[in-house]
Structure 1
Amino acid sequence: MDRLPLLDPTAAPFADDFTAGSPDPGRWVDHYLPHWTTPDRSRARCAPTPGGLELRIEADQPDWRPEDAPLRVSNLQTATFSGPAGSTRGTHRHRPDGLTVRTPTPTRLLWAPREGQVDVRVTASLDRGCMLAVWLVGTEHESPGDSGEVCVCEIDADAVGETSTRVRTGVKAHHDPRLRTEVTEVVVPVGAGQAHWWSARWNASGVVVACDERVVFTSAQHVRGPQQLMVDLFEVVAPGPAGEYPKTAVVHAVRGS
């Protein structure tokens, strides 16, 4: 497969062009993995902008968890799940250092298909220490083994050039013994400040990832279980805030089947 056509937005069961000016609570949770931290730390900073929603890192924004400093994030996601306070059950146990639930969250599946396609149109950040990411992550609400991830794209600000950009993409196993981590770096013909589409199709036949419909990654691995979409802007700058604020990236549109 050389190309992955975009979904028809009029036929996509999940679609958002962010024309409302703020995240629609019927589609999005505007917190980053809120169960592992507290609401003041997980809440996204965002603002309407022409043609989309601006994800922001602001100078007074706290670190996601004190233990992870420096790490600040503004995120949109389409589901939540956790066990009770103090437990280790919850979506995206991505750190090996003993994540435990601090803010129990109900199981909410706003959009969490087992297979399908997602298209996300973004403009990556150019700000120091920032990364824009688009992920499909296992909710784990049925089984802790359903933790695999389709890493649609991870775009570091310092990897964005005038005419091309280096991007990480692939599959991450996390705690799913049926998967192996398979992440690669690709170069796409997208320059600084350019909006572009990232797409992923996943099912029993495998995973396909494309940039502006051109396929850049394929895998025969089957990522199982319900998957939530996450669109994130991260900042990691040591020893602390640095540069001009706010630091920004833009999500223009999302479509999912």
Structure 2
Amino acid sequence: MQDDFRGGPRADLWVPHYLPHWTTPDRSAARFDAVDDGLRLRIDADQPDWRPEDAPLRVSNLQTGTWSGAVGTSRGTHRHREDGLVVRTEAPTRLLWAPSSGRVDVTVSASRDPGCMLAAWLVGTEHEDARAAGEVCIFEIDADAIGDESTARSGVKAHGDPGLTTDMAEVRLALDAGEPHTWTAIWGDGETVIGCEGVVVRRIAQAPAYPLFLLVDLFEIGGPQGSYPKSAVIHSVRGWDRR
């Protein structure tokens, strides 16, 4: 799969909502616009919180598919917390890109705006098995961690997968993450390798072995501050499926 976001995200590849089954469409919908060098994800001043229970937390996200159980159940992709995630909007099974092993390159410019975090995750779809819930966290970059040198969080999260152990670490980058840089994740055969600009930053002796969706998302964590819109840019995404 490949997308350079000319004219917007590909409709056959992306769902422009953040985990829409756990909330309502008005709250999960991404704010974005096409720019010369990609897609600008935005947090707008009038954007609602993702869920009222999580306020203040706003997000604009693209993901490569959806799945959930019926309204009122707790069955759905990325049950990343234990305190009351219940399906509010049933999501169809859409496996637009969901490899069990492979490689993905994500080129982004992270947000420098106060309170923001840009992230890219591969998360278990869970559509076949609730235990298929692990995550490859390619990066989480906080705005206040960006400078001539930057830091990010990266690794594997087990969530509901008993076969994985959470292994996250802060990585130091000899670059300005607010400028365009390419992150790479390669996973399969019991190993996950994560790199930035061709340099390996994590090598982990475990990997999810079931279908994963890719999510790329801009969060505003905490109450309103600074000027709006807040933004980050996705320049391109390329993926290879090794199934």
Q: What range is the shorter-chain TM-score in?
A: over 0.9
Distance in 1 (alpha carbons) for counterparts of 2:238 and 2:207: 21
Q: Which residue of the partner structure matches residue 84 of structure 2? A: 98
Q: Which residue of the partner structure matches residue 214 of structure 2? A: 229
Q: Which residue of the partner structure matches residue 159 of structure 2? A: 174
CA deviation string 1:104-146 (max 9, x = no partner): 0100000000000000000000000000000000000010000
Distance in 2 (alpha carbons) for counterparts of 1:133 and 1:192: 12
Counterparts of residues 46-57 of structure 1 (less than 5 Å): 46-57=32-43
Distance in 1 (alpha carbons) for counterparts of 2:171 and 2:178: 18
Q: Hey, which bits of structure 1, 4+ residues long, moved more than 3 A?
A: none
Alignment of 1:244 with 2:227, yes or no, is yes
Cα pair 1:204 1:223 within 8 Å, conserved: no
* TM-score (ref. length: structure 2): 0.97
Q: Which residue of the partner structure matches residue 172 of structure 2? A: 187
Q: Which residue of the partner structure matches residue 4 of structure 1? A: none
Cα pair 1:37 1:101 within 8 Å, conserved: yes
Q: Which residue of the partner structure matches residue 15 of structure 1? A: 2
Cα pair 1:85 1:102 within 8 Å, conserved: yes
Aligned length: 240
Distance in 1 (alpha carbons) for counterparts of 2:177 and 2:231: 13
Distance in 2 (alpha carbons) for counterparts of 1:192 and 1:74: 19
CA deviation string 1:173-215 (max 9, x = no partner): 0000000100000011221531000000000131000001110
* TM-score (ref. length: structure 1): 0.92
Alignment of 1:89 with 2:75, yes or no, is yes
Which runs of 5 or more residues in structure 2 are unaligned?
none
Cα pair 1:148 1:224 within 8 Å, conserved: no
SS, match of residue 25 in structure 1: coil
Counterparts of residues 188-207 of structure 1 (less than 5 Å): 188-191=173-176, 193-207=178-192
Q: Which amino acid aligns with 1:114?
A: S
Which runs of 5 or more residues in structure 1 are unaligned?
1-13
Report how far residue 224 of structure 1 moved: 1.9
Distance in 2 (alpha carbons) for counterparts of 1:44 and 1:99: 20
Q: Which residue of the partner structure matches residue 5 of structure 1? A: none
Q: Which amino acid aligns with 1:159?
A: A
